[in-house]
């Protein structure tokens, strides 16, 4: 494991808006306001997303005066790597970033080998908020409280940074293939910036990431799920379910008090009817809490007839001290779902030696500075 550690002042200086927060059409509008020819938009766009420019001075295709005017109006860099970790088996990189105002977020790059007909994937798990307000009891981020929403540029920059990591380690042969909005925070609670980030990532003149290679996760914000069904982007939807009944789910996920399971599942049915896309249900398996055969049977009944898939995630150790089921219990829960006709997989564990679980590295860094 290789580790780069740099702890610096986390005070919040004043900053200009970031040019990374602009979609390509918004950048074109900015160039029009600056009375620049239309081709300047593509020069800047390619400098940022094709050449990984970190400052306007690096955009040497632009006239000096324009570079100066851009520097007066915008920032470029929005993320500073503070801690970079690489797992022993070489498949995971995790970075703790400091934002321009001193807030801390985490991003994880996971390398998956192709199996059978499936291709190799380079998946980045990105954050959409600094902290989280939803308080799921098993989640390290939920235990840290909410700080603020991330801008679209702060979300996108996590992907561009990991593209640079891949370029450095593979001689430019590999790029990010998939993005999951499953890091720190609730993407649907930062809906507009999350969808703006999707727009930028999907742009065919920039990062060129297919919408079907992006997955947005939510604990179950029903209005936003219905809103996502109306979007033009064919992104995937993942629901953090984690319990098959209201009593149990309300105990571990406070959001269930607002939108209970019946309301959530109905929203998922409407989403599927509108989009004809499969919904993934994330199920964190916690020993003695939600991992019994009766829970599996309840889950089968709940999801019967839905176009869906269940992803079982053995719980990570956090300050909540939830216990992880043993492999036998995990396998039994999976097999019960399969026999009940529910497509199911157990998430492949990666990066346990570098605290790859959401929020763990931030908590460690804050503890080190207290």
Tell me the backbone φ, ψ of residue 73, rounded to 5 degrees. -95, -30
User: Dihedral of CA 299/223/155/170: which sign?
Assistant: positive
The CA distance from 111 to 95, in Å, is 15
Q: Which of 125, 136, 308, 358 is the catalytic position? A: 358
Q: Which of 14, 80, 106, 298 is the catalytic position? A: 106
Q: If 0-12 CB within 10 Å is exposed, 13-18 middle and 19+ buried, where does residue 134 land?
A: buried
Which is nearest to 73 in space by CA: 13, 11, 31, 43?
31
Task: Specify whether the CB–CB gap between 146 and 131 falls below 8 A.
Answer: yes
The CA distance from 195 to 98, in Å, is 23
Torsion of CA 127, 242, 261, 257, to 10 degrees: -70
How crowded is the C-beta side of 310, counted as CA atoms within 13 Å?
A: 27
Note if 139 is an active site residue.
Answer: no
Note if 358 is an active site residue.
Answer: yes
Q: Which residues are catalytic?
A: 106, 358
């Amino acid at each position: 494991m290789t580790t780069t550690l740099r702890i610096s002042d986390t005070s919040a200086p004043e900053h200009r808006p970031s040019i990374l927060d602009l979609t390509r059409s918004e950048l074109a509008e900015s160039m029009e306001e600056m009375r620049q020819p239309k081709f300047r938009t593509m020069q800047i766009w390619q400098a940022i997303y094709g050449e990984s420019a970190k400052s306007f001075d690096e955009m040497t295709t632009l006239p000096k005066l324009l570079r100066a005017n851009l520097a007066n109006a915008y920032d470029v860099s929005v993320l500073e790597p503070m801690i970079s970790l690489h797992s022993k088996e070489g498949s995971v990189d995790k970075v703790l970033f400091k934002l321009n105002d001193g807030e801390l977020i985490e991003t994880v790059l996971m390398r998956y080998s192709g199996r059978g007909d499936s291709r190799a994937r380079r998946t980045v798990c990105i954050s959409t908020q600094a902290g989280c307000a939803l308080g799921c009891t098993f989640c390290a981020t939920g235990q840290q409280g909410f700080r603020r929403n991330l801008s679209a540029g702060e979300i996108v920059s996590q992907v561009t940074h990991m593209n640079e990591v891949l370029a450095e380690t593979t001689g430019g042969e590999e790029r990010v293939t998939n993005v999951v909005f499953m890091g720190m925070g609730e993407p649907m609670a930062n809906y507009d910036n999350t969808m703006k980030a999707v727009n930028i990532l999907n742009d065919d003149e920039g990062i060129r990431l297919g919408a079907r290679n992006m997955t947005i996760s939510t604990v179950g914000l029903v209005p936003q799920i219905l809103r996502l069904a109306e979007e033009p982007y064919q992104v995937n939807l993942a629901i953090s379910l984690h319990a098959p009944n209201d009593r149990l789910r309300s105990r571990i996920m406070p959001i269930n008090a607002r939108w209970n399971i019946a309301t959530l599942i109905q929203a998922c049915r409407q989403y599927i009817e509108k989009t004809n896309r499969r919904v993934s249900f994330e199920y964190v398996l916690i020993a003695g809490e939600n991992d019994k055969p009766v829970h599996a049977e309840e889950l089968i009944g709940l999801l019967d007839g839905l176009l869906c898939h269940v992803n079982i995630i053995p719980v990570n150790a956090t300050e909540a001290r939830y216990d992880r089921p043993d492999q036998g219990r995990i396998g039994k829960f999976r097999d019960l779902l399969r026999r009940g006709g529910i497509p199911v997989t157990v998430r492949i564990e990666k990066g346990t030696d570098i605290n790859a679980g959401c929020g763990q590295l931030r908590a460690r860094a804050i503890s080190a500075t207290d």
